[in-house]
Amino acid sequence: MPRKETPRNPWYWTVLTLLHERSMHPYEIQQLTTQRRKDLLAEHKSGSLYSVIDRLSRDGLIAPVATNRAGNLPERTVYRITSAGRERLLGWLRDELGELDRRDLPRFAFALEKAAHLDPVTVRELLERRIRAVEAQVAEFDEIERYRAANDLDRVSFLEIEYAHAVRRAELGWLRQVADDLVAGSLDWAVVAAPAQDAT
């Protein structure tokens, strides 16, 4: 059976998961997303939150339950997840958590497969640049782990950060090894030559 198309906007699943916890208004959704650092692994553009809420509401996956006002602040509509929304969310989770799509490789892996079109010195320099970027992200993940522990926040709300942290640490070790192999010349490298240009 073909899998349903997965919406690409991160707000789609963030809204459903947070409303699965409890009813809330969009501002609270945005605050929790920031607090739990959901914006670190996927871009949550503030301007697209309300359009996603409109879409989810039109599709019958969430529904407004109340409108309230605090002081001089504008009215805020509180939303809840519907039974259809709960079914959609839980179905997606069952599909994603238990399956491995071998084609779902990151762009970096796709580029690595074609790295032999560059000379090894250039590849080493590029990998060293990536190493510095991954080191910075690992340090950021370290800080988030300390923040979570210091604020006694639920580990389950940060599992995707924990997973990404583990993946980046493993990647860092692998990148360093490949860079060292390139420096030592122990990685066989045959540059794929470009064809001669046609004379015009």
What pLDDT was estimated at residue 35? 84
What pLDDT was estimated at residue 6? 66
Higher pLDDT, 69 or 97: 97
Highest average pLDDT, of 43-57, 136-150, 186-200, comes from 136-150
CATH C-level class of 10-97: mainly alpha
> For the chain, what's the residue count?
200
What pLDDT was estimated at residue 192? 65
Q: pLDDT tens, 36-79?
A: 887 777 777 777 899 999 999 999 999 999 987 776 767 889 99
What pLDDT was estimated at residue 95? 83
Q: What are the domain boundaries of the chain?
A: 10-97, 107-184
Which tokens hold the place of 54?
A: 């409109």
H or E stretch at 182: helix 159-184
Query: Is the alpha carbon torsion for 178, 182, 187, 188 positive or negative?
Result: positive
Provide the pLDDT confidence category of residue 127 given band limits of 50, 70 and 90: very high
Higher pLDDT, 136 or 196: 136
H or E stretch at 7: none
What pLDDT was estimated at residue 179? 94
User: Any idea which residue has 């001669």 for tokens?
Assistant: 196
pTM (predicted TM-score): 0.71
Please, which residues bridge with residue 62 across strands? 81
Q: Taking 80 as the threshold, does the pLDDT of residue 194 lie above it?
A: no
CA pair distance 164, 46, nearest whole angstrom = 23
Provide the pLDDT confidence category of residue 198 given band limits of 50, 70 and 90: low
